[in-house]
Structure 1
Amino acid sequence: MELDWEFFIKTFFVCLRAVPVALNIVAVTLIISLPVGFLFAFLRIKGNITVKRLISMYVSVIRGTPIVVQILVLYSMLPSLLAVFFERINSPLNVYDVNPIYYAYTVFSLYTIAILSEVFRSALLTVPKDQLDAAESIGLTTVQAYRRIIIPQAMVAALPNICNATVNLIKASSLAFLMTVKEITAVAKIEAAFGYNYIEAYLVIWVIYILICIVVEQIFKILENRLKIYKSAA
């Protein structure tokens, strides 16, 4: 079968305009997920037994179900629950007018928090416990010890896995079209629908996501090189 290269090139540049939408989803998700994921990791190490079990249950549920199912359930269920809630409090807000990208933020953040909490937990456990004890013995508080000693070393171990999680998130963001978000995949499918050029459209999606992931991997390599100064202390 001969490819329609004219359609491929035209669709490629059309889809490039949707790249900021995909990157916006990824950026907002990481802004939410990185601190919350670290907090969950810390609580799984230092928290009480109840907190540890609740977080472990959350992580198991999220990691044990396909993200497609999470999208379909939350995107179908959350608006309905919110509609009932606002109706009961006599609010004029119509949840069905909410920009669907906010649902994308919610779904991908819940998913990424679970992934990153495991990344940070394993990274924190690579730092010997006696380093914290030594830091506290010379007068540092627990917060100071973590900020100056523990976290920099843990980040060295965590960064490759954070890179993997980010790349996986970028690829998963292509599923935002299920929530009617007009990102790369949605735009490509719309373009393909007119002439049934789905093969060319999927190739466009493939090329764009490869390019984005290559750039992201290079950025993380630069970060890894800068954090190498902490390896000797790890």
Structure 2
Amino acid sequence: MGLLGLNVDLMERYGLRFLDGVQVTLELVLLSVFLGALLSLPLAVARVEGGKFLSRASFTYSYFFRGTPLLAQTFLVYYGAGQFRPQLTDIGLWWFFRDAFNCAVFTFTLNTAAYQAEILRGGIESLPIGQMEAARAIGLTRYQAYRKVILPQAIAIGLRPLGNELVLMIKSSAIASVITVYDLMGVTRLAFSRSYDMEVYLWAALLYLIMVELVRRIWDVLERRLNRHLTLSR
């Protein structure tokens, strides 16, 4: 035992592996959130503008992924893909689904896209209807109006809940460890199975806390800069 009661020998044995686990966690979360953001845009617009069929399809998608546990979704993708190995091999996709990290990214992307789509939908519907009318009046197409006028404002309105979604994804990423992804929690479980020292879970908790706090601070700066016009107008 070293200073502050820390097990120095344990830190020397697993310290670098914990840092590797943090890197895998950040890669998993950032990639999933980014891809989910891209997917959430058409989903949100479909809820608002898609008509009866597309609106219901988008709602059903969000309802499923927001209403079922992420753990169950992860199992469905990872273990379910194995049931369709011959078909996936035939179409050249087995290389993707046989990798646990890819399955985690795929599942997390689908999950966070549902939440981000609902946040964007709320932002879009909170805007005055005159925003679209004004954009069309100056000659913008509906696509241009959404790209240049509607979506930037909707994203600014939803910036805080989008930040909360990023934080939730960091904490939820621990689920990936159950399908053998060596993220932070995966490394922690491995270290505990070999040392039987509960201290490793304390390290994991502290590292998750540090990641969340860094995101919170970065998001606060981002929100102040992007929404500074709202502060000045008050």
TM-score by length of 1: 0.88
Question: How big is the shift at 1:138?
Answer: 2.1
- Whether 1:220 aligns to 2:223 is no
Q: Aligned ranges for residues 150-189 of structure 1 at < 5 Å?
A: 150-189=150-189
> Aligned residue pairs: how many?
229
Please give the per-residue CA displacement for 1:53-103, whole angstroms capped at 9, x wherever unaligned.
11111111111111111112221111221x13146x4x8986599321110
Q: Aligned ranges for residues 2-151 of structure 1 at < 5 Å?
A: 5-6=7-8, 9-10=11-12, 11-81=14-84, 83-86=85-88, 89=90, 98-151=98-151
| Contact in 2 for aligned 1:152/1:230 (Cα 8 Å) | no
Question: How big is the shift at 1:18?
Answer: 1.6
Structure 2: distance between partners of 1:179 and 1:3: 33
Structure 2: distance between partners of 1:67 and 1:5: 34
Structure 2: distance between partners of 1:136 and 1:95: 46
- Greater relative contact order (Cα 8 A, min sep 6): structure 1 or 2? 1
| Contact in 2 for aligned 1:45/1:121 (Cα 8 Å) | yes
Question: Where does structure 2 lack aligned partners over 5 or more consecutive residues?
Answer: none
The 1:96/1:167 distance shift into structure 2, 3 A limit, reads: closer
> Which letter maps to 1:169?
M
Structure 2: distance between partners of 1:72 and 1:201: 26
Question: How big is the shift at 1:13?
Answer: 4.5
Aligned identity (percent) is: 27
Q: Tell me which residue corresponds to 1:205.
A: 204
Please give the per-residue CA displacement for 1:147-182, whole angstroms capped at 9, x wherever unaligned.
332222212211101101111111111111111111
The 1:86/1:124 distance shift into structure 2, 3 A limit, reads: closer
Please give the per-residue CA displacement for 1:29-73, whole angstroms capped at 9, x wherever unaligned.
122110111110011100021111111111111111111111122
Structure 1: distance between partners of 2:108 and 2:156: 25
The 1:86/1:126 distance shift into structure 2, 3 A limit, reads: closer
